[in-house]
Structure 1
Amino acid sequence: MWAEYAAAHPQVAGDEYVVDRFGDSAALSDELLGVVLGGRKRATAELVAEFAARGEPLPRIGAHWVACDGAGRPRLVLRSTDLRIATFDEVDAQFAHDEGEDDRTLESWRREHRRYWERTCAARGAVWSGSDEIVLERFAVVWPPEHADGARPA
């Protein structure tokens, strides 16, 4: 998928990119990818400590990532458009809305992300805290053309 995107956009051919998926299970990956494909989800959040645990650098504005489905198949190329570091209590209603999950409220964002991070931290032998730093990332879908933001119906 990256090769197709880079061929169509030669200016990014040498750019680095990551291959990743949303969530911590195949089912959650597929669910969240569906929300992206439906156009509601244009943001995501991940603990800084999770990047460190995987040995990955933090994302940067303009960076690309290939989003895979739960089976690991590449489905979309995303481009980071906005990043900020915050704590749990610093996340605002607009970010929760842009993340597009559940009913898009800050209340549901906090409830579901607390559950998620308690689970993922426990899986790597850590304990989640509301003071943990979170990477709040907004993104655009840039590939394939039929799913890219701003794509016009044929």
Structure 2
Amino acid sequence: MNTTPIEIDHAAARRMWNDYARARPERAASDSELVVEHFGDTPRLADELLDAVASGAKRATSALVREFTVVGDPLPRIGAHWIACDGRGTPRVVLRTTELRIGDFSSVDERFAADEGEGDRTIENWRDGHRRYFSRISSAWPTPWTESDDIVFERFRIVWPPDLADADGTA
């Protein structure tokens, strides 16, 4: 597995955000800090998951609470925006968080597993894939993750660019 760090193009992300803010000033005004991220922990996984977002299959994501606290980032909040980049660090979409919940591994349900849009979209596939992923990303931490650790379950919508934005009017 390629574990090359993804270097984010922050200048391009700022341009994307400025385009969005000009088009949707009422929405963009609610965010004082620009969050720019990528899905997954490898360029290949970032591309795969971003493709699922662009196709409409993926409208949810999950992350260990410790993923945020280890690097000192705040947890997501409902209504906040973030820019998702591809595996080369190029910004591709602006997302807006629509729903958040914190729970443990056993609290994921079939609907959320399907909304994550990964694999065959079943809860069994979600559990298998996330056990591997959470184990891998926590391997360098002083204590590895356990299934009782808190997980952020997040749903989102694409709000930019217009050709990919969700069309139900809630962007």
Partner Cα separation in structure 2 for residue 137 and residue 88 of structure 1: 14
Partner of 1:86: 103
The aligned residue for residue 58 of structure 1 is 75
Separation of aligned partners in 2, 1:14 and 1:116: 32
In the alignment, the residues of structure 2 paired with residue 132 and residue 3 of structure 1 have an alpha-carbon distance, to the nearest angstrom, of 37
CA distance in 1, matches of 2:39, 2:87: 8
Structure 1 residue corresponding to 2:93, chosen from 64, 68, 76: 76
User: Cα distance, 1:14 vs. partner?
Assistant: 5.7
What's the CA shift string for 1:18-37, capped at 9, x where partnerless?
00000001110000000001
Instruction: Name the counterpart of 1:98.
Output: 115
CA offsets per residue over residues 59-106 of structure 1, 9 Å max, x none?
000000000001110000000000000100011111000001000000
Please list every run of at least 4 consecutive aligned residues from structure 1 whose deviation after the TM superposition is greater than 2 angstroms. 123-126
Gaps of 5+ in 2: 1-15
Structure 1 range deviating more: 16-25 or 112-121: 16-25
Other-structure match for 1:32: 49
**Aligned-CA RMSD value:** 1.1
CA separation in 2, counterparts of 1:128 and 1:13? 36
Q: Are the equivalent residues in 2 in contact too, given 1:17–1:63 (CA < 8 A)? A: no
CA distance in 2, matches of 1:28, 1:4: 27
The one-letter code of the counterpart of 2:155 is: R
- Aligned-partner residue type, residue 55 of structure 1: G
| 1:83/1:138 contact within 8 Å kept | yes
1:19 matched to 2:33: no
What corresponds to 2:147 in structure 1? 130
How far is 1:128 from its partner? 1.5
For 1:93, the aligned partner's letter is: E
Query: Does residue 117 in structure 1 map to residue 137 in structure 2?
Result: no
The counterpart of 1:44, out of the listed 61, 77, 83, is 61
Question: Structure 1: any 5+ residue segments left out of the alignment?
Answer: none
CA distance in 2, matches of 1:21, 1:131: 25
* 3-state SS of paired residue (1:5): helix
Letter in 2 for 1:32: L
Q: CA deviation at 1:54?
A: 1.2
2: distance between equivalents of 1:106 and 1:96?
A: 5
- Alpha-carbon contact 1:35-1:101 (below 8 Å) kept: yes
Aligned to 2:130, what secondary structure does the other structure show? helix
Contact kept in structure 1, 2:60 and 2:115, CA below 8 Å: yes
